[in-house]
């Protein structure tokens, strides 16, 4: 029984049904989470406080820099109490990619959807390919899946250091600490790094100096390693971001021993670096927790995570919805949902049918439909499910109580869940279902990872499920995810060698003319479950008469940047900011930098480009948008 | 709005940029920094000032007049892929430009939302100074992503894409400022307007058929008559994503020229760097010779020319096959990816549906198959001969122990090669009868036997 809010039950064979006797079971007033106070009441209270008190600051940080894309964060900060009373995350960009996909040939989805995000590179192209394959019923040959896994593992090798050193790292650098947290600097100078023998920095102050933007050794090394991993990706994809090799039914990469060796040789340089990265991001939390216990609560949220899994088993994956629970659980990274620290499911169907997206606080008109009451297996679907969603973009004025962002509000079982690459570690550790491996294993409460020997010797490291998810644990998790993903790259490379040894050459299921003939003419509904640098990624596709009739992208940063839901529950960024204590010295209010909020927000690795393209309409809707916008023109 | 997307820009009295500025009116007021305090300034300094100790560590080597250039990076309807591409570039690298470490070039002070340390209103201050004409050095504007038709969103009281707020609302209230508006306000006094990536150069995917935002390119937005203060029209570095090195090289080339030592960079009629986009991608394609020999890939993953599985390379201006994607690694066709024309003004709608051979390739592939059917066997014939040591020819045997044993040429083949050798050596000066006096008369023991002939 993984659902607590939605009235969904399971029979003996695990099939889901709606609890009987409830009229409008998905109505937002019927199935709702338990909440103490409505958000409107809370906001009104805060506005009264702001009006009365000089020490409460109501400010909007627009733009928040050192994240990918356009994000603004509004905060109400009580400088006397050292608390963020309120927060609103605003995605400030809409491009309408799904609208553009409407009515197109399904083959176009890969290259068009890829352009949803240029930070996450190939992930959208892959998710689109999985959606198309499920709709068309074509399954890539094993080598095709292995090449995809190698590509996408290598991509994480670029994504994680980019975030840790170029985007988040400066917040822990000498330059920022000396100015925002001067009280920490003398402590840092005295604090001997636990992992000096691995990363080489004697004191925390030395390490922080190496994090300085552009000039610091760690910053520069991180930038170089993003380049190395991108070289690995383009060996297979031709270019980065936006791969040129993803085709429906596989890849078009011409694979030779040279390709594998060049990939292998670059991968070989990464493992020593991964050891240094984990050592750095183990020492940073240790120092901060010791310096001030309140850092445990910077960016804190309850342990509610979701992930659809990543990197398929090339022999189990069959591109069907019917068998998705079986092949899903064989992924290197196990799909799952964790609520309040408990793993409640690892089934992709549960993840799918519990998914809803709301637009109460987003610049869209409401337009849920009941086009599909059930999925292909007969499980019930909400009118707010992506297959039923028909969201209509509508730019309008910003109002904290009403609409204030281009992101929408995805919820699972109407609960606020978080997505992250570190969520992969969490699911995989708890589920203990990952494939047998010499390098990766799960214990139920931790992941054990064996780092192969490089110039530094072989070493086993362990990532433990943190007691409290906060900014520091997200960053630590990302560093361990870097190693995890690179070990998946290694396992996939070894699989590619094995297949090549067996004489396997096929990388795609169909040739171009067979592909054209395979486009179905009836109505098909499908979903591509994949991952991005920040975790969760899904593309929901509906096609009919050989063309796309609905397309919905849900990205991890849509989940994390989501605004309030219909019940007033804040999105993960907002919740994390409101749980963050203001630790910086604000005895002089003019010195308030909001660094604690920035650390909280950046720990999610916000990636906004693809956050705001989740929104579609069918043909007539697009015209409606045009008309309404044109009216004032 | 359909009519806003299709009307002729040549006949319109005002450019879209002018229309927007007329609607929004002039601005005079900016953020009150005294009220702002340190909010969003965690290092207590602007990124420019943080880097100054390195960037201006000693008196710069004197190559030319410029010491510093500001670069404002704005993202319209963008995916940030161009920013990512630029962080991968190495000729010159982003860090060397920012740290003033590329000899001969001025220090580039980049205002980029992904890289800068300061956030919020502090981050916007240099752009405000540029609009007010108070910036301490010349500036260029770099646009990534398409320009969206913000007049339409503005009429509904909102925006498509905003970056920051300014007190430009009624009664000096803060209101979101769109990337489109920043670009329109900064363009008149900019030293150069540079569009990076296919969205900014030609509209790209956000402007594809069926788009709801009225997305367009920078040159569509600023109009035909736009000139920067240096007299330059919009510079376009296309690609989706562009090759990072193409962009950094273009910026560097312009600066080499302005510093007085570089040649005037040549731009084609669409504002592309001519030395980068003058050739089709096919001309430097690693698989181009397969086309010449009439050998074409049938399946995805095949090593031959990709034209019949959907490659548009022969008619697309791009240099990725010669330059690679990053650090000279990759390249679409190098890896097996068919060209979908992502550098072209016609992208994407003139190339869809993808994964389908361009109909126009039918004529040329038929011709190349015919030519190839003659050329390929001839080349194979010579290739076979060249795969033999001269010694093997003399001995009449190839001592290879690999399972695929080399077969010895037939008598006919042998005779043909003799004839070929005679042709080849017809002007060989080694046959002239001059006395060779620089060696001993007798060969060392076991030296070359006379040729078998």
Q: Residues 327..356 of B with a Cβ closer than 8 Å to A: which?
A: 327, 329-340, 342, 348, 352-356
- What is the H or E stretch that residue B420 is in? helix B411-424
What confidence score (pLDDT) does residue A611 get?
Answer: 66
Within an 8 Å CB–CB cutoff, is residue A211 touching chain B?
no
Measured CA to CA, the distance from residue B22 to residue A224 in angstroms comes to 46
Q: Which one of B38, B77, B244 would you mutate to disrupt binding with A, by most A Cβ within 10 Å of its Cβ?
A: B38
- Segment A552-580 shows an average pLDDT of 95
What confidence score (pLDDT) does residue B450 get?
Answer: 59
- Which chain B residues touch A595 with a CB distance below 8 Å? 42
Q: Do B119 and A64 touch (CB under 8 A)?
A: yes
Residue B10 has pLDDT above 90, yes or no: no
What confidence score (pLDDT) does residue B449 get?
Answer: 59
Within an 8 Å CB–CB cutoff, is residue A36 touching chain B?
no
Dihedrals φ, ψ of B273, to 5°? Answer: -60, 115
On whether the CB atoms of residues A185 and A242 are closer than 8 A, the answer is: no
- Segment A385-399 shows an average pLDDT of 90
- Which chain B residues touch A174 with a CB distance below 8 Å? none
Residue A616 has pLDDT above 70, yes or no: no
- What is the H or E stretch that residue B416 is in? helix B411-424
Within an 8 Å CB–CB cutoff, is residue B9 touching chain A?
no
Answer yes or no: do B271 and B300 share one domain: no
Q: Are strands A83-91 and B192-196 parallel, antiparallel or unpaired?
A: unpaired
| B433 part of a folded domain | no
> Which residues pair with residue A71 across a beta bridge?
A91
Within an 8 Å CB–CB cutoff, is residue A436 touching chain B?
no
- Which chain A residues touch B340 with a CB distance below 8 Å? 111, 244
| B266 part of a folded domain | yes
On whether the CB atoms of residues A541 and A548 are closer than 8 A, the answer is: yes
Q: Which one of B109, B147, B337 would you mutate to disrupt binding with A, by most A Cβ within 10 Å of its Cβ?
A: B337
On whether the CB atoms of residues A365 and A391 are closer than 8 A, the answer is: yes
pLDDT bucket at A391, cuts 50 / 70 / 90 = low
Distance (Å) of CA B400 to CA B128, B405, B410? 75, 6, 18
Among B50, B118, B240, select the one facing A65 at the smallest CB separation: B118
What confidence score (pLDDT) does residue B448 get?
Answer: 62
- Which chain B residues touch A62 with a CB distance below 8 Å? 120, 162-165, 176
Closest CA to B355 of B293, B291, B295, B299: B299
What confidence score (pLDDT) does residue A413 get?
Answer: 96
- Segment B289-305 shows an average pLDDT of 96
What confidence score (pLDDT) does residue A541 get?
Answer: 97
The count of other CB atoms within 10 Å of the CB of residue B141 is: 27
Q: Do A214 and B51 touch (CB under 8 A)?
A: yes
Name the token pair of A454: 């490089």
Measured CA to CA, the distance from residue A578 to residue A570 in angstroms comes to 9
CA dihedral sign, ordered A308, A313, A314, A316: negative
Q: Are strands B139-144 and B192-196 parallel, antiparallel or unpaired?
A: parallel
pLDDT bucket at A44, cuts 50 / 70 / 90 = confident
Measured CA to CA, the distance from residue A358 to residue A567 in angstroms comes to 11
Residue A620 has pLDDT above 80, yes or no: no
Within an 8 Å CB–CB cutoff, is residue A60 touching chain B?
yes
Answer yes or no: do B30 and B19 share one domain: yes
Q: Do B2 and A626 touch (CB under 8 A)?
A: yes
Q: Which of residues B371, B396, B421 is at a domain's end?
A: B396
Measured CA to CA, the distance from residue B287 to residue B284 in angstroms comes to 9
- Segment A301-315 shows an average pLDDT of 97
On whether the CB atoms of residues B51 and A216 are closer than 8 A, the answer is: no
- Which chain A residues touch B39 with a CB distance below 8 Å? 57, 59, 61, 592-594
In this prediction, what percent of chain B has a pLDDT beyond 90?
73
What confidence score (pLDDT) does residue A633 get?
Answer: 28
What confidence score (pLDDT) does residue A630 get?
Answer: 29
Q: Are strands B139-144 and B68-75 parallel, antiparallel or unpaired?
A: parallel
Q: Do B42 and A242 touch (CB under 8 A)?
A: no
How far is A201 from chain B, CA to nearest CA, in Å?
Answer: 22
How far is A204 from chain B, CA to nearest CA, in Å?
Answer: 18
- Mean pLDDT score across all residues of chain A: 92
Q: Which of residues B254, B277, B300 is at a domain's end?
A: B277
In sequence order, which ranges of B79-119 are alpha helices (DSSP H)?
A: 81-88, 94-98
- Which chain B residues touch A630 with a CB distance below 8 Å? 1, 4, 152, 155
| B42 part of a folded domain | yes
The pLDDT tens digits for B52-75 are: 888 887 666 678 888 899 999 999
Answer yes or no: do B324 and B381 share one domain: yes
Residue A627 has pLDDT above 80, yes or no: no
Q: Do B116 and A66 touch (CB under 8 A)?
A: yes
On whether the CB atoms of residues A66 and A170 are closer than 8 A, the answer is: yes
Measured CA to CA, the distance from residue A283 to residue B328 in angstroms comes to 36
What confidence score (pLDDT) does residue A69 get?
Answer: 84
Residue B405 has pLDDT above 70, yes or no: no
Answer yes or no: do B190 and B339 share one domain: no
How long, in residues, is chain B?
Answer: 453
- Which chain B residues touch A70 with a CB distance below 8 Å? 75, 113, 161-163
A323: alpha, beta or left? (left if phi > 0; alpha if psi -120 to 50): alpha
Q: Do B301 and A61 touch (CB under 8 A)?
A: no
- The CATH number of residue B372's host domain is 4.10.480.10
The pLDDT tens digits for B115-153 are: 999 999 999 999 999 999 999 999 999 999 999 999 989
On whether the CB atoms of residues A389 and A441 are closer than 8 A, the answer is: no
- 10 Å CB burial of residue B182 (0-12, 13-18, 19+) is buried
Domain membership of residue B245 as a residue range: 14-277
How long, in residues, is chain A?
Answer: 633
Q: Which one of A238, A243, A510 would you mutate to disrupt binding with B, by most B Cβ within 10 Å of its Cβ?
A: A238
| B258 part of a folded domain | yes
Which of A123-127, A367-371, A531-535 is predicted with the least confidence, judged by mean pLDDT? Answer: A367-371
Q: Which of residues B277, B294, B315 is at a domain's end?
A: B277
Name the token pair of A547: 């063309």
Q: Do A65 and B41 touch (CB under 8 A)?
A: no
What confidence score (pLDDT) does residue A610 get?
Answer: 65
| B419 part of a folded domain | no
DSSP string for residues in A343-402: EEE--HHHHHHTEEEE-TTBSEE--B--S-SB-TTS-B--TTSGGGB--EE------TTS
On whether the CB atoms of residues A341 and A358 are closer than 8 A, the answer is: no
The pLDDT tens digits for B410-427 are: 889 889 988 988 998 888
What confidence score (pLDDT) does residue B53 get?
Answer: 87
Among B113, B206, B332, select the one facing A239 at the smallest CB separation: B332
DSSP string for residues in B303-345: SSB-GGGT--GGG-B--HHHH-SBTTB--HHHHTPPP--TTST
Residue A46 has pLDDT above 90, yes or no: no
Measured CA to CA, the distance from residue B358 to residue B338 in angstroms comes to 11
The pLDDT tens digits for A170-209 are: 999 999 999 999 999 999 999 999 999 999 999 999 999 9
- What is the H or E stretch that residue B392 is in? helix B390-395
Q: Do A61 and B40 touch (CB under 8 A)?
A: yes
Answer yes or no: do B180 and B299 share one domain: no
How far is B371 from chain A, CA to nearest CA, in Å?
Answer: 25
The pLDDT tens digits for A91-145 are: 999 988 889 999 999 999 999 999 999 998 799 999 999 999 999 999 999 999 9
Within an 8 Å CB–CB cutoff, is residue B286 touching chain A?
no
pLDDT bucket at B8, cuts 50 / 70 / 90 = confident
Among B80, B87, B159, select the one facing A223 at the smallest CB separation: B87
Name the token pair of B239: 């690609």
Q: Residues 502..521 of A with a Cβ closer than 8 Å to B: which?
A: 505-508, 511-512, 515-516
How far is A478 from chain B, CA to nearest CA, in Å?
Answer: 19
Q: Do A162 and B87 touch (CB under 8 A)?
A: yes
What confidence score (pLDDT) does residue B12 get?
Answer: 82
Within an 8 Å CB–CB cutoff, is residue B232 touching chain A?
no
- The CATH number of residue B259's host domain is 3.40.50.700
Residue boundaries of the structural domains of chain A: 8-631
The count of other CB atoms within 10 Å of the CB of residue A339 is: 19
Answer yes or no: do B236 and B299 share one domain: no
What confidence score (pLDDT) does residue B451 get?
Answer: 55
- Which chain A residues touch B96 with a CB distance below 8 Å? none
Name the token pair of A204: 């925390």
**Domain total of chain B:** 2
Burial A273-292 (b: 16+ CB within 10 A, else e): bbbbbbbbbbbbbbbbeebe
Name the token pair of A516: 């054209």
Answer yes or no: do B98 and B88 share one domain: yes
Answer yes or no: do B296 and B176 share one domain: no
CA-angle at A383, arms to A378 and A387, nearest 5°: 70
What confidence score (pLDDT) does residue A622 get?
Answer: 28
For residues A625 and B254, the model is more confident at B254
Residue A623 has pLDDT above 50, yes or no: no
How far is B22 from chain A, CA to nearest CA, in Å?
Answer: 13
Measured CA to CA, the distance from residue B71 to residue A221 in angstroms comes to 25
Among A93, A237, A591, select the one facing B161 at the smallest CB separation: A93
The count of other CB atoms within 10 Å of the CB of residue B381 is: 14
Q: Residues 519..578 of A with a Cβ closer than 8 Å to B: which?
A: none
On whether the CB atoms of residues B163 and A70 are closer than 8 A, the answer is: yes
On whether the CB atoms of residues B108 and B98 are closer than 8 A, the answer is: yes
ipTM score assigned to the predicted complex:
0.94
The pLDDT tens digits for B369-403 are: 999 999 999 999 999 999 999 998 888 888 888 86
On whether the CB atoms of residues A515 and A107 are closer than 8 A, the answer is: yes
The pLDDT tens digits for A327-365 are: 999 999 999 999 999 999 999 999 999 999 999 999 999
The domain made up of A8-631 has a fold known as: Cytochrome-c3 Hydrogenase; chain B (1.10.645)
Name the token pair of A497: 């060698």
What confidence score (pLDDT) does residue B404 get?
Answer: 67
The count of other CB atoms within 10 Å of the CB of residue B392 is: 16
On whether the CB atoms of residues A320 and A376 are closer than 8 A, the answer is: no
């Amino acid at each position: 029984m993984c659902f607590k809010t939605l009235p969904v039950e399971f029979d003996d064979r695990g099939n889901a049904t709606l609890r009987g006797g409830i009229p409008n079971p998905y109505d937002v007033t019927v199935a709702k989470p338990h909440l103490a106070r409505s958000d409107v009441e809370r906001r009104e209270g805060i506005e009264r406080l702001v009006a009365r008190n000089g020490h409460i600051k109501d400010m909007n940080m627009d733009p928040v820099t050192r994240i990918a894309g356009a994000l603004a964060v509004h905060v109400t900060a009580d400088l006397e109490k050292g608390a963020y009373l309120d927060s609103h995350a605003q995605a400030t960009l809409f491009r309408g990619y799904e609208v553009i996909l409407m009515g197109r040939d399904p083959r176009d989805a890969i290259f068009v959807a890829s352009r949803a995000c240029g930070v996450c590179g190939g992930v959208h192209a892959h998710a689109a390919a999985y959606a198309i394959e499920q709709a068309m019923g074509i399954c890539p040959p094993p080598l095709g899946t292995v090449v995809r896994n190698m590509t996408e593992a290598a991509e994480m090798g670029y994504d994680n250091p980019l975030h840790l050193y170029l985007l988040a790292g400066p917040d822990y650098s000498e330059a920022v600490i000396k100015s925002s947290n001067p009280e920490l600097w003398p402590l840092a100078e005295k604090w001997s790094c636990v992992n000096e023998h691995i990363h080489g920095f004697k004191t925390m102050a030395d390490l922080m100096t190496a994090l300085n933007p552009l000039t610091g050794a760690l910053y520069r090394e991180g930038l170089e390693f993003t380049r190395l991993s991108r070289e690995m990706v383009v060996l297979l994809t031709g270019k980065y971001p936006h791969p040129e090799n993803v085709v429906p039914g596989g890849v078009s990469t011409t694979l030779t021993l040279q390709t594998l060796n060049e990939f292998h040789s670059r991968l070989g340089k990464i493992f020593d670096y991964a050891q240094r990265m984990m050592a750095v991001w183990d020492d940073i939390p240790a120092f901060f927790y010791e310096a001030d216990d309140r850092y445990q609560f910077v960016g804190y949220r309850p342990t509610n995570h979701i992930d659809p899994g990543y990197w398929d088993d090339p022999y189990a994956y069959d591109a069907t919805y019917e068998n998705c629970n079986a092949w899903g659980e064989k992924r290197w990274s196990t799909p799952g949902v964790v609520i309040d620290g408990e793993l409640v499911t690892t089934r992709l169907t549960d993840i799918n049918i519990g998914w809803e997206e709301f637009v109460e606080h987003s610049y869209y008109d409401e337009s849920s439909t009941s086009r599909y009451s059930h999925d292909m297996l007969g499980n019930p679907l909400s009118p707010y499910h992506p297959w039923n969603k028909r969201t209509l973009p509508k730019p309008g004025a910003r109002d904290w109580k009403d609409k204030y962002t281009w992101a929408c509000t995805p919820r699972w079982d109407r609960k606020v869940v978080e997505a992250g690459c570190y969520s992969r570690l969490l699911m995989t550790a708890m589920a203990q279902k990952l494939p047998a491996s010499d390098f990766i294993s799960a214990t139920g409460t931790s992941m054990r990872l064996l780092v192969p020997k490089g110039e530094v010797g072989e070493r086993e490291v362990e990532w433990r499920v943190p007691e409290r998810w906060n900014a520091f644990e997200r960053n630590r998790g990302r560093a361990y995810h870097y190693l995890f993903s690179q070990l998946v790259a290694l396992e996939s490379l070894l699989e590619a060698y094995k297949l090549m040894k067996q004489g396997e050459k096929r990388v795609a299921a169909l040739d171009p003319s067979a592909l054209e003939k395979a486009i179905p003419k009836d109505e098909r509904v499908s979903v591509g479950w994949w991952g991005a640098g920040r975790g969760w990624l899904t593309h929901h596709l509906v096609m009919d008469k050989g063309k796309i009739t609905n397309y919905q992208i849900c990205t991890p940063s849509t989940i994390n940047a989501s605004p309030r839901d219909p019940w007033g529950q804040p999105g993960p960024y907002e919740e994390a900011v409101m749980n963050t204590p203001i630790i910086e010295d604000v005895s002089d209010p003019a010195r308030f930098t909001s660094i604690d909020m920035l650390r909280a927000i950046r720990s999610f690795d916000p990636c906004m480009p693809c956050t705001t393209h989740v929104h579609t309409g069918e043909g007539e809707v697009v015209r409606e948008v045009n008309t309404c916008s044109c009216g004032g023109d | 709005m359909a009519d806003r997307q299709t009307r002729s820009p040549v006949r319109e009295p005002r450019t879209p940029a002018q229309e927007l500025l007329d609607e929004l009116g002039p601005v005079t007021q900016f953020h009150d920094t005294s009220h702002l305090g340190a909010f969003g300034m965690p290092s207590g300094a602007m990124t420019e000032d943080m880097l100054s100790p390195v960037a201006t560590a000693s008196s710069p080597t004197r190559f030319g007049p410029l010491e510093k250039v500001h670069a404002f990076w704005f993202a319209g309807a963008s995916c940030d892929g161009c920013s990512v591409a630029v962080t991968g570039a190495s000729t010159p690298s982003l860090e060397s430009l920012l740290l003033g470490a590329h000899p001969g070039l001025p220090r580039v002070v980049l205002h980029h939302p992904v890289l800068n340390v300061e956030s919020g209103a502090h981050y916007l201050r240099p752009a405000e100074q540029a609009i007010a004409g108070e910036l301490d050095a010349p500036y260029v504007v770099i646009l990534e992503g398409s320009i969206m038709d913000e007049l339409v969103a503005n009429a509904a009281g909102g925006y498509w894409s905003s970056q920051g707020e300014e007190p430009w609302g009624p009664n000096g209230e803060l209101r979101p400022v769109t990337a489109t508006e920043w670009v329109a306000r900064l363009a008149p006094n900019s030293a150069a307007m540079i569009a990076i990536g296919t969205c900014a150069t030609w509209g790209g995917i956000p402007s594809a058929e069926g788009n709801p935002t009225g997305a367009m390119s920078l040159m569509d937005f600023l109009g035909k008559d736009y000139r920067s203060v240096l007299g330059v029209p919009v510079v376009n570095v296309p690609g989706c994503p562009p090759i990072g090195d193409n962009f950094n090289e273009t910026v560097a080339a312009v600066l080499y020229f302005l510093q007085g030592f570089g040649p005037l960079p040549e731009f084609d009629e669409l504002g592309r760097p001519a030395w980068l986009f003058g050739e089709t991608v096919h001309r430097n394609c690693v698989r181009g010779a397969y086309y010449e020999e009439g050998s074409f890939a049938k399946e995805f993953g095949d090593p031959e020319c990709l034209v019949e599985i959907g490659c548009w390379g022969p008619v697309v201006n791009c240099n990725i096959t010669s330059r690679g994607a990053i650090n000279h690694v990759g390249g679409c066709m190098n890896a097996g990816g068919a060209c979908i024309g992502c550098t072209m003004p016609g992208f994407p709608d003139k190339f869809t549906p993808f994964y389908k051979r361009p109909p126009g390739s039918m004529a040329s592939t038929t011709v190349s198959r015919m030519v190839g059917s003659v050329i390929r066997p001839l080349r194979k014939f010579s290739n076979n001969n060249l795969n033999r040591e001269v010694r093997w020819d003399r001995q009449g045997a190839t001592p290879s122990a690999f399972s695929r044993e080399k077969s010895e040429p037939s008598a006919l083949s042998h005779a043909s090669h003799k004839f070929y050798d005679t042709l080849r050596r017809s002007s060989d000066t080694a046959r002239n009868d001059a006395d060779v006096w620089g060696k001993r008369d007798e060969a060392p023991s076991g030296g070359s036997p006379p040729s078998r002939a």
